[in-house]
Amino acid sequence: MYSLSKSCYNSAMKIAWVRIITDICIFIGVLTLPWWLSVMLLMACIIYFPLYIEALFLAFLFDTLYATQYEFPQIGLLIATMILLITMFVRTRIRN
Amino acid sequence: MNFPLRNNNRNNKRNNFLSRGVYITVGIVCVLIASNFLFPNFNRALGYALSKPVWFIRDSALSSGGNFFAYFSSKSVLHAENLALKDENTSLKLKSYDYDTILSENQELKGILRKNTNRLLARVLSKPPQSPYDTLVIGSGTSEGISTGDRVYLSDTVVIGTVTSVTSETSLVTLFSSADQKITGENTRTGVSFEIIGKGASNLTLTVAKETDILWGDTFIHPAISSEVIGSIYYIDTESQTSFKTAYLRIPANMSSAKWVFIDKVSR
């Protein structure tokens, strides 16, 4: 029982670390890579990780850094939200 | 014949995951949008504070490692490149004589017509391939006297946009080529002014009647006391069935390689 819970804990920690490292890489990517490459990386992460909420913060950062104030400044955030919701919906409809 | 019963427990789990995910997503989006409306400058300043170290590290890494691949170039390639550069150098020298004369004359005229030219040099932190909105982030802000509406130049005569948002250390520059930006441009050949609309990726368009006198290569300037080049026509689309034609202009520089820009502070 103890070894089972310990192995579960280890695998959860491993997943968490992978996710944190990916977040840092994507953050650096958003700031340094061409925007279309950053968007593709974000989409890949949304599809790969379950409930990739970080995409919302990264899209918000994208808008905050680059969007002008005259137009609606949250286009990136809205697109990321839509993709995230669609991916979640599809994910729950596909049998593992 | 027996059919396995539907696993309601599994379906419930999935629906719970979906509904919980939707609630969390919508909640976060609402908080982010509200924070942007309540504290727009704080968010921007925080974003730039987080990003600036990464941009500086990238720039220093690129400047130190830029010549790395030059060591692996072959001798014949280097020889050909050397010859091409020599030719280019000769033609540039000839052009520079004209340029120096015209520039000194231009400076004299500017000095007479507009006495308080107030230009600042600013470092470009982030530029178009990173930004999908055709905007630049520059490393100068209110602490150096920059404010919204200041004009931004790539060289002495090429104007590329205006400052649209300022924090204490950084500013956001919206290029004229940013989508749906409208500016008035004057054709240097005919002297006629037109409304030019930004289309993104350093491109601008101009829609005029088919009879209008515009040609490939025509240069457009910002109508001001001094000539400020906006761009030149590289393609004219006359194929459409309507009585209009669309001219495509491009900023006369590669924005992705811009490292410095000049800010013309509006005198207040």
Pairing of strands B219-222, B182-187: antiparallel
Instruction: Give the residue-averaged pLDDT of B26-53.
Output: 83
Of B25, B58, B172, the CB nearest to A32: B58
Annotated domain spans of chain A: 2-93
- Interface touch A57/B32, C-beta < 8 Å: yes
Q: Which amino acid is at B35?
A: S
Query: What is the structure's pLDDT at B68?
Result: 60
Amino acid (one-letter) located at A93: R
pLDDT at B171: 86
Residue B71 has φ and ψ, to the nearest 5°, of -65, -25
Give yes or no for B12 touching A (CB within 8 A): no
CA separation for the pair A47, B32 (Å, rounded): 22
A18-70 pLDDT per residue, tens: 888 988 988 888 888 888 888 898 889 888 888 888 888 888 888 888 887 65
Contact A51 B29 (CB under 8 A): no
Whole-angstrom distance, CA of residue B6 vs CA of residue B9: 9
Are the Cβ atoms of B18 and A88 closer than 8 angstroms?
yes
What tens digit of pLDDT does each residue of B109-129 get?
Answer: 766 655 556 778 888 888 887
CA distance B266 to chain A (A): 20
Assess: ipTM above 0.85: no
**Whole-prediction pTM:** 0.68
